[in-house]
Amino acid sequence: MLTVASVPPDQLRERLATTGLRLRTGEFVTCVRSTIPHVADGIALLYGDYPLAGDDSLADFHLRISRAAGVRRWLRPQAQLDHDGARTFTPLPLNQAFAMLEWGMNWCVTSRVQSCLIIHAAVIEKNGRAAILPAPPGSGKSTLCAALVHRGWRLLSDELTLVRLDGAEVTGPARPVSLKNASIEVIRNWAPDAVFSAPVHDTVKGTVAHMKAPGDSIARAGEPALPAWIVFPRYAAGAAPELETIPKARAFLRVAENAFNYSRLGVEGFHAVAGLMARSAAYDFRYSRLEDAVAVFDRLAGEAP
């Protein structure tokens, strides 16, 4: 199977600049076009192990990221992202072009896919069972996810949990993990062999860097898992680890609130969340030390289904 890494750098840049690179991430194919060098560098660094679809194959999404024209080519250069030829996104500083591509790929899934319920949640798997981690920004969701996938859990996604409409299985695109601010250095120290993009400063999210997904997670991207736990994580400095069972009715509402397309799906969204809750235990989880968090999740994984 042809992967990004099997394409020589000069050919990779040429394909990005002309016909586009058809990048497969789990069940989705995104055709990416760009002439910006560090977009090509970011794809080569973080997506080297991902498979490519054929040039004549259909793509689910078409994204083009380019330098803004006019005076912006020279004065505070900007990058602009087009989806299917339409300028949907606000231009950003040029050095944020690769991060913009990552955010654009997320947007494509959350705004265009209606074949499954999409939850703003990390999702990881061990022994065939998935832990779903819905949480708002600042909760430590992606940091916890990054730590766990470097201690034996498989990454499905740090942002997008895709739930079958009957709630029986979950999947994720297994793309790079987005880390912000202090979390970048925390995970660098936690996983010294992990591959990171260069940090980008002064974004709307602060300083952002992306961590390459582990090789096994990439190889198994799109492989479904059975939902087993819904854990709402919250980092609290100095806190002892505390895993508290919560009523499923309350968890239902919180999952629905964190779903991008719950309302659009209507009754199908309701049944998807109901199916998920029927198959999963629900918890609030407070933690401060990653070592403690890993021990708690490994205990969950060791329990009989």
Burial annotation 74-84 (CB, 10 A radius, 16+ → b, else e):
eeebbbbbbbe
Cα separation values, 304 from 127, 227, 251, 285, 301, Å: 11, 14, 22, 20, 8
pLDDT (tens digit, 9 = 90+) per residue, 130-179?
Answer: 999 998 777 889 999 999 999 999 999 999 999 999 999 999 999 999 99
In terms of Cα–Cα distance, which of 63, 109, 97, 103 is closest to 82?
63
Determine contact, residues 120/259, Cβ cutoff 8 Å: yes
Q: What pLDDT score was predicted for residue 208?
A: 97
> Which amino acid type is present at position 303?
E
As given in the structure block, the two tokens for residue 90 are 């606000």
Handedness of CA 217, 44, 138, 104 (dihedral sign): negative
CA dist., res. 202 & res. 192, Å (int)? 25
**CATH number of the structural domain 117-302:** 3.40.50
What CA–CA distance (Å, rounded) separates 184 from 178? 9
| pLDDT (mean) for 2-16 | 96
pLDDT tens-digit series, residues 78-121: 999 999 888 888 999 999 999 999 999 999 999 999 999 999 99
- Whole-angstrom Cα distance, residue 128 to residue 279? 13
pLDDT at 76: 83
Q: Examine the pLDDT at 77 and tell me if it is beyond 70.
A: yes
Within 10 angstroms of residue 192's Cβ, the number of other Cβ atoms is: 8
Which residue, among 177, 156, 145, has the nearest Cα to 46 in the 3D structure?
Answer: 177
R_g of the chain computed on alpha carbons: 19
pLDDT in tens, 258-270: 999 999 999 999 9
| Integer Cα distance of 280 and 167 in angstroms | 10
Measured in residues, the chain has a length of 305
Question: Model's pTM, two decimal places?
Answer: 0.94
pLDDT band at 48 (very low <50, low <70, confident <90, very high): very high
pLDDT-above-70 percentage for the chain: 98
Q: Give Cα 145 to chain centroid, integer Å.
A: 10
Q: What are the sequence ranges of the domains in the chain?
A: 4-112, 117-302
Can you tell me whether residue 211 is helix, strand or coil?
strand
Q: How many other C-beta atoms lie within 10 A of the C-beta of residue 263? A: 9
**Predicted confidence (pLDDT) per residue in 206-232, tens digit:** 999 999 999 999 999 989 999 999 999
Looking at residue 146, what is its pLDDT? 97
Q: Is residue 189 classed exposed, middle or buried when 0-12, 13-18 and 19+ CB atoms within 10 A define those classes?
A: exposed
Whether 44 shows a pLDDT value over 90: the answer reads: yes
pLDDT of residue 135: 84
Look at residues 146, 153, 166 and name the one whose alpha carbon lies nearest to residue 209: 146
